[in-house]
A = this chain, B = another copy of it.
């Protein structure tokens, strides 16, 4: 990457993405080669929203590179509740660390924050905005299981609010991928995202309300969680959610090679019985967060650094 910060997957070209994925694969094959790479480096973790897997996998990645983390902790236990601005918080913490990871409920917060700091800053999710490291591990998992060329992918569930889905869709438009978006009408992709995707040269985007018509053609099915709180009425939620659940019966109509993914946590979208099938790739997907984030951290710490390594 020729970037000091990682804010959105939109900033990454196909060549950038492939470079990261290649490097992640190299690390995955031999993690010991980088086990002491950043032995004296500290990564600042600033999570203004709860997170388990993103935070833990960043921490794991940094420690697998020989480095360590310094964690701001929860907002409740920090100075944030004394009224400090985000610009002040990041300017203080950059003085302690060699890079920053920031998750924030407000869309655009990481982009704003990155203008105040000299160390590399990685966006770990901003509201309904972007989540570029999740996108990279999704792409890595797709490439390992189905390949990124001549790909037919279905993306299903809550497509309206999910930053994970938007980030992935933008990134996939760099590749030769047929994207099918499957959701109830009330949770369709935002119109501006569809518009953006159609602007891309060669983009192949279609929307569906039911999975049946596209399932047999899919190489990858990417399922997301439909959140109860999006629905004013519990009955409506139950009915809608029920139509977008995957189980072994559903998958009988799919290709034997279908890869099922999910950013996790899941609730009822994928039945536990699917875990035992060869389709299930969602735990592998979560685990891929480590080599992918190791690759991203290493590239940013080496290039975004002060050149003294």
User: Which residues of the partner chain B approach A193 to less than 8 Å between Cβ atoms?
Assistant: none
The answer to whether A56 and B70 touch across the interface, beta carbons within 8 angstroms, is yes
Instruction: Indicate whether A95 reaches chain B with its CB closer than 8 angstroms.
Output: yes
A265-B70 contact, Cβ under 8 Å, with A92-B53, A95-B290, A286-B92: no
* Bound-state Cα–Cα, A32 to B308, Å: 12
Which of the residues B40, B81, B264 comes within 8 Å of A88, measured between beta carbons? B264
Do A52 and B74 touch across chains, with their CB atoms under 8 A apart?
no
Structural contact, A84 and B287, CB atoms closer than 8 A: no
Q: Which of A39-63 contact B (CB under 8 A)?
A: 40, 42, 44, 47, 50-53, 55-57, 59-60, 63
Q: Quick check: A60 and B70 within 8 Å, CB to CB? A: yes
Considering only CB atoms and an 8 Å cut-off, how many residues of chain A contact the other chain? Answer: 51
Q: Is the Cβ of A93 less than 8 Å from the Cβ of B56?
A: yes
Question: B59 and A95: CB pair below 8 A?
Answer: no
Q: Which residues of B contact A175 (CB under 8 A)?
A: none
A117 to B60: give the CA distance in the assembly, Å.
18
A78 nearest in chain B by CB position: B52
A32 cross-chain contacts in B, Cβ below 8 A: 40
Contacts of A53 in B (CB 8 A): 79, 92-93
Known A96-B287, A264-B84, A283-B92: A50·B63 in contact at CB below 8 Å: no
Q: Give the residues in chain B near A286, CB-CB below 8 Å.
A: 92, 95
| A268 closest partner in B (C-beta) | B83
Would you call A50 and B70 a contact (CB within 8 A)?
A: no
With A50-B77, A60-B70 known to touch, is A95 a contact of B265 (CB < 8 Å)? no
Residue ID in chain B nearest A35 by CB atoms: B40
Whole-angstrom distance between the alpha carbons of A32 and B88 in the complex?
A: 28
Assuming the A-B contacts A59-B70, A92-B283, A287-B96, are A50 and B79 also in contact, with contact meaning beta carbons closer than 8 angstroms in the complex? yes
**B96 adjacent to A79 (CB under 8 Å):** no
Whether B52 pairs with A91 at a CB distance below 8 angstroms is no
Decide: A82 and B267 in contact? CB cutoff 8 A.
Answer: yes
Inter-chain contact A290/B96, CB cutoff 8 Å: yes
**A72 and B50 contact, CB distance less than 8 A:** no
Question: Complex formed: what's the CA distance from A63 to B44 in Å?
Answer: 13
B52 & A283 in contact (Cβ 8 Å cutoff): no
